[in-house]
Amino acid sequence: MTVRVTGRPPGRRKVTSRAELEQVAFDLFWEYGFERTTVEDIAFAAGIGRRTFFRYFPSKNDVPWGDFDGELDRMRRQLRAVPAEVPLLQALRTAVVDFNRIAPGQLLAHRRRMELILRVPALQAHSTLRYADWRQVVAGFVAERTGHPAAALFPQSVAYALLGAAVAAYEQWLDGGQDDLAELLDRSVLALAAAFSAA
Amino acid sequence: MTVRVTGRPPGRRKVTSRAELEQVAFDLFWEYGFERTTVEDIAFAAGIGRRTFFRYFPSKNDVPWGDFDGELDRMRRQLRAVPAEVPLLQALRTAVVDFNRIAPGQLLAHRRRMELILRVPALQAHSTLRYADWRQVVAGFVAERTGHPAAALFPQSVAYALLGAAVAAYEQWLDGGQDDLAELLDRSVLALAAAFSAA
DNA sequence: CTTAATGTGGCACTGAGTGCCGAGATTAGT
DNA sequence: ACTAATCTCGGCACTCAGTGCCACATTAAG
């Protein structure tokens, strides 16, 4: 077996990238709305064939998600780095807040992205499928901490609840009453603590 | 203006009902799977036109939901009937458990229904849209109790979390390790209490 | 019988997503 | 160079969900 050192792989080069395609699509979504932008519109604007679009994104619904899998990796690493002394709840609070820390320059883009994901019905529905992976990251961490299997009720329940808190916070953020996303996320998790502590 | 006392409205009678159509569809889903059953298949099996199917259900995804809106009304009434002395958390626990109390004769049907809703990706995605109403019922109750607006962070966050707990419990139930749905639901809510109480 | 109200379902269309396949592009090896 | 191997591209044709339009059927009431 030959080891490839520097070389690019053989074969025709990709004609575009997910990021570029995403940018083109976002512009169209912003101008005409998600529903009224067809895949053909996006492909045409990007100068590729409709068929090729589906080689970059499995569906139109996946466009707003950017490199979500990469973000999940980041979150996994961050969670692994949390010292064992940190209590579970605090670790989760920090994780949610950190995961959603956005560079100031990308705030507007992120807001638009989340507006699509959480407000367009088709995308709102689709989000459940993408967020499943997020939940599994959280459930895995909780499982590690508590000794439960990741698929057990406790980790799953906590993961679902935490996701819920995060989404609720995002919706407030999008509604515009409060600009500080990090604070909203934190308050949302603390709201659960308040509501569910009187066992 | 004439008051209609007993009479049926004029016009052609409906040729079937949601319930009957649902039954026909369920049989097909069970035999061939949800994805491989087309709307045309259902319509044909029910002896109606494809176009007519969409007068009974807004989408194929809505078939498994039965009379969910009616169920929500029931839940609303139950929550309204909860005495003010009952603490919030306990009221929510009871509400979730009661809402999902199924007559023994319909257990199998309910299981299959939930298997569809929670395991078929398209339906899992769609569930987010249907469960939004459920969340609003819960949020409304929490808002009433706490004096927050229903759209505020606290009620929304609690509603999201409670839904999450319920879904997590259902997944365990479907996985089959534990048959007692009510107990799973209760334990799931208590899991949140345990995880989020260490504020 | 006429009228008004209501349900039915065929037709044609849009748009997402997919399998197939030939054509284009690029690298490594001779 | 030439060739083989390896990718990517994108057209074509197809399936299926969902929708607007519209003619037609059915029924209660005057």
What would the pLDDT profile of B142-182 be if each residue is shown by its tens digit? 999 999 999 999 999 999 999 999 999 999 999 988 899 99
Confidence check: pLDDT of A9 > 90: no
| B199: confidence class by pLDDT, cuts 50, 70, 90 | low
The answer, as to whether pTM is greater than 0.75, is yes
User: How far is it, in rounded angstroms, from Cα A141 to Cα A192?
Assistant: 19
Mean pLDDT of A47-64: 98
A161 vs B160: CB contact, 8 Å cut-off? yes
What would the pLDDT profile of B83-110 be if each residue is shown by its tens digit? 999 999 999 999 999 999 999 999 999 9
C4: residue with closest CA to C1': B10
Q: State which residue of chain A sits closest to B173, comparing Cα positions.
A: A153
Q: What is the 3-state secondary structure (H, E, C) of A91-130?
A: HHHHHHHHHCCCCHHHHHHHHHHHHHHHHCHHHHHHHHHH
A191 vs B125: CB contact, 8 Å cut-off? no
User: How far is it, in rounded angstroms, from Cα B32 to Cα A67?
Assistant: 35
| B2: confidence class by pLDDT, cuts 50, 70, 90 | very low
User: How far is it, in rounded angstroms, from Cα B186 to Cα B90?
Assistant: 10
Distance A64 CA to C22 C1' (A): 33
- Closest approach of chain A CAs to the CA of B142, in angstroms? 10
More confident residue, B1 or A46: A46
Distance B4 CA to C7 C1' (A): 20
Which residues 6+ apart lie within 8 Å of B35 measured at CB?
B120, B122
B198 vs A87: CB contact, 8 Å cut-off? yes
Query: In what helix (H) or strand (E) does residue A197 lie, and over which residues does it extend?
Result: none
B188 vs A128: CB contact, 8 Å cut-off? no
- The beta-carbon neighbor of A153 closest among B151, B157, B187 is B187
Q: Where are the beta strands (DSSP E) in chain B?
A: none
Instruction: Take residue A70 and report the two structure tokens written for it.
Output: 């990469």
**pLDDT number for residue B7:** 76
- Closest approach of chain B CAs to the CA of A9, in angstroms? 35
User: How far is it, in rounded angstroms, from Cα A176 to Cα A106?
Assistant: 17
Give burial (CB, 10 Å; 0-12/13-18/19+) of A90. Answer: middle
Mean pLDDT of A88-93: 96
User: How far is it, in rounded angstroms, from Cα A82 to Cα A86?
Assistant: 7
Confidence check: pLDDT of B29 > 60: yes
User: How far is it, in rounded angstroms, from Cα B35 to Cα B75?
Assistant: 31
| A98: confidence class by pLDDT, cuts 50, 70, 90 | very high
A164 vs B161: CB contact, 8 Å cut-off? yes
**pLDDT number for residue A2:** 47
State which protein residues have CB closer than 7 Å to strand C.
A 2, 4, 7-13, 37-40, 50-51, 54, 58-61; B 9-16, 47-52, 55-56
State which protein residues have CB closer than 7 Å to strand D.
A 9-16, 47-52, 55; B 2, 4, 7-13, 37-40, 50-51, 54, 58-61
User: How far is it, in rounded angstroms, from Cα B29 to Cα B64?
Assistant: 10
One DSSP character per residue, B132-190 reads HHHHHHHHHHHHHHH---TTSHHHHHHHHHHHHHHHHHHHHHHHTS---HHHHHHHHHH
Q: State which residue of chain A sits closest to B171, comparing Cα positions.
A: A153
D28: residue with closest CA to C1': B10
Mean pLDDT of A137-165: 98
| A5: confidence class by pLDDT, cuts 50, 70, 90 | low
- Closest approach of chain A CAs to the CA of B184, in angstroms? 8
**pLDDT number for residue B198:** 65
Confidence check: pLDDT of A1 > 50: no
Q: Which residues of B touch A167 (CB under 8 A)?
A: 160
Q: Which of B73, B53, B194, B171 is nearest to A197 (CA)?
A: B194
**pLDDT number for residue B6:** 59
Query: In what helix (H) or strand (E) does residue B65 lie, and over which residues does it extend?
Result: none
- Closest approach of chain B CAs to the CA of A191, in angstroms? 6
What would the pLDDT profile of A110-134 be if each residue is shown by its tens digit? 999 999 999 999 999 999 999 999 9
Which residues 6+ apart lie within 8 Å of B18 measured at CB?
B56, B57, B66, B67
More confident residue, A63 or B5: A63
Instruction: Report chain D positions within 7 A of protein CB atoms.
Output: 4-13, 15-21, 25-30
